[in-house]
Amino acid sequence: MTQAYVLLDRDGVINVDSDDYIKSPEEWHPIPGSLEAIALFNKNNYKVIVITNQSGLGRGFYGEATLSKIHQKMVQLVNEKGGKIDAIYYCPHTQDDNCSCRKPNPGLLKRFSTENNRSLSDLFFIGDKLADLQAAEAAGAKFILVKTGKGEKTLINNPEISSPIFKNLYEAAKFIIT
């Protein structure tokens, strides 16, 4: 049997987003139900992978050590709810760097696919921004939009989005596992 995976954006999907960036563990706060959603995926034999742009690194707002502490907090809080994040892929670049890994480019998703010898065609990538949708499409993954974070604004600005849309990560998780 093929291992089941789900790919998640971080800011606005798992945790509350900020236009000023999440620059410390103290600024990282889970969206209600998101940690439970990750545990629900795990209980249904899904491995959870985080795919996230972290341009605050490239902008000098925080360093690798701080990002590591933010991710340690996220992993710990998920663990406390009975869940597990299996891997975190992040892009440290700014838009001006023209890298292949910064969403909407598909580099991070393709790296996951290569490293895990796994096709993306039957995997869901859950995000709250148009860049997440574009990265999923470019990589050949299925996409789900959540209305948390910038999801409502994304939907208003892009009413043509036809992928499944859910109130939050927990509702998306229930849809995927059924």
Active site residues: 9, 11
User: Using the 8-state DSSP alphabet, how is residue 11 labeled?
Assistant: B
Burial class (CB in 10 A: 0-12, 13-18, 19+), 19: exposed
Longest Cα–Cα distance of the chain, Å, equals: 44
Amino acid at residue number 102: R
Residues forming a β-bridge with 143: 125
Alpha carbons within 13 A on the beta-carbon side of 87: 16
